[in-house]
Amino acid sequence: MSSKQKKWQVLPNIKKEIISEYPEYFPLVLQLLYNRGITEKEKIKNFLEGGYEKNSHDPFLFQDMKQAVDLTIDHIKKGNKITIYGDYDADGVTSSAILVELLRLFKADVEVYIPHRVKEGYGVNRQAVDLIAKNDTKLIITVDTGIRSKKEIAYAKELGIDVIVTDHHVPPNELSEYPECLIINTAIIADKYPDNFLSGAGVAFKFAKALIDSSKLSEEDKQNLSYRLLDLVAIGTVADCVRLTGENRILVKKGLEVLSNVKRIGLSSLYEIAKINNNNKIDTWNIGFQIAPRLNAAGRLDHANTAYQLLITKDSDEAKKLAQELNNSNQERQQITDKIFLEVEEQINIKDDNILIGVYDLENNKSKKETAWNEGVVGLVAGKIANKYFRPSLVITKTENGYKGSGRSIPCFNLIQAVEQCGSFLDKYGGHPQACGFSFSEKNLNNFIDKIKNIAKKEITQDMMKPIVKIDAILNFEEINEDLYEKISALAPYGQGNERSVFLSENIRIFDITTMGMDGQHIKFKLKNDKSGFINAISFNGAEKWKDFAINDNINIVYNLDLNVFNGRSEVQLKVIDIKKYEA
Question: Which CATH number characterizes residue 64's domain?
Answer: 3.90.1640.30
Residues 84 and 224 in one domain: yes
Q: Give tens-digit pLDDT for 470-519.
A: 999 999 999 999 999 999 999 999 998 899 999 999 999 999 999 999 89
Confidence of residue 5 (pLDDT cuts 50, 70, 90): low
Q: Tens digit of pLDDT for each residue in 558-568?
A: 999 999 887 77
pLDDT score for 281 = 85
Instruction: Confirm whether 274 is domain-assigned.
Output: no
Element (H, E) at 333: helix 316-347
Tens of pLDDT, residue by residue over 430-439, are: 888 889 999 9
Contact status, residue 389 vs residue 379, Cβ threshold 8 Å:
no
**How does the average pLDDT of the chain come out, rounded?**
93
pLDDT at 54: 78
Number of domains making up the chain:
3
The answer to whether residue 279 is domain-embedded is: no
Cis preceding linkage at 493, omega within 30: yes
Is residue 197 one of the residues assigned to a domain? yes
Q: Does residue 278 surpass a pLDDT of 70? A: no
Is a pLDDT exceeding 50 seen at residue 4?
Answer: no
Asked if residues 242 and 198 have their Cβ atoms less than 8 Å apart, the reply is yes
Give domain status of residue 321, yes or no.
no
Q: Does residue 269 lie in a domain region?
A: no
CB atoms under 10 Å from CB of 531, counted, come to 9
35 occurs within a structural domain: yes
Name which of 1-5, 34-38, 314-318 the model is least confident about. Answer: 1-5
pLDDT digit string (tens) for 382-415? Answer: 999 999 999 999 999 998 889 999 999 998 999 9
The reply to whether 380 and 453 lie within a common domain is yes
Tell me, yes or no, whether 286 lies in a domain.
no
- If you average pLDDT over residues 12-20, what whole number do you get? 93
Residues 357 and 242 in one domain: no
Q: How many angstroms separate the CA atoms of 141 and 76, rounded? A: 13
Domain hosting 549: range is: 3-47+468-581
pLDDT at 229 over 50: yes
The reply to whether 537 and 522 lie within a common domain is yes
Based on C-alpha coordinates, what's the Rg of the chain? 25
Domain boundary (212, 242, 261) is at: 261
Three-class secondary structure assignment of 355-408: CEEEECCCCCCCCCCCCCCCCCCHHHHHHHHHHHHCCCEEEEEEECCEEEEEEE
Q: Count the neighbouring beta carbons within 10 Å of the beta carbon of residue 176.
A: 8
Domain shared by 26 and 68, yes or no: no
Quick one: average pLDDT of 67-96? 97
* Rounded CA separation 40/17 (Å): 12
pLDDT of residue 363: 56
Give the DSSP H or E segment for 449: helix 445-459
Q: What is the pLDDT of residue 364?
A: 54
Tell me the CATH number at 552: 2.40.50.460
Maximum average pLDDT range among 364-368, 479-483, 568-572: 479-483
Is the pLDDT at 450 greater than 50, yes or no?
A: yes
Confidence (pLDDT) at 295: 97
Residue 454 sits in a domain whose CATH number is 3.10.310.30
- The answer to whether residues 476 and 456 belong to one domain is no
pLDDT at 190: 87
Neighbours of 144 (CB within 10 A): 30
Phi and psi at 557, nearest 5°, equal -130, 135
**Cβ atoms of residues 151 and 124 within 8 Å:** no
Indicate the residue among 433, 465, 497 that finishes a domain.
Answer: 465
Phi, psi of 394 (to 5 degrees): -125, 135
Q: Which residue has the higher pLDDT, 557 or 496?
A: 557
Query: What's residue 1's pLDDT?
Result: 39
Distance in angstroms (rounded) separating the CA atoms of residues 442 and 405 = 12
Q: Please write the tens of the pLDDT for every residue from 121-170.
A: 889 999 999 999 999 999 999 999 999 999 999 999 999 999 999 999 98
Q: Do 88 and 176 fall within a single domain? A: yes
Q: How confident is the model at residue 3 (pLDDT cuts 50, 70, 90)?
A: very low
Query: Under a CB-based contact definition with an 8 Å cutoff, are residues 169 and 117 in contact?
Result: no
Shared-domain flag, residues 403 and 503 = no
Instruction: Report the alpha-carbon distance of residue 310 to residue 324 in Å, rounded.
Output: 10
Q: What is the mean pLDDT of residues 63-89?
A: 97
Q: Does the pLDDT at position 279 exceed 70?
A: no
User: Which one of 261, 278, 309 terminates a domain?
Assistant: 261
Residues 454 and 475 in one domain: no
Are 416 and 518 members of one domain?
Answer: no
Residue type, position 534, single letter: F
pLDDT at 370: 55
In a domain, 387, yes or no: yes
| In a shared domain, residues 73 and 188 | yes
User: Is residue 226 helix, strand or coil?
Assistant: helix
Q: Which band of pLDDT confidence, cut at 50, 70 and 90, is reported for residue 55?
A: confident
Residues 418 and 530 in one domain: no
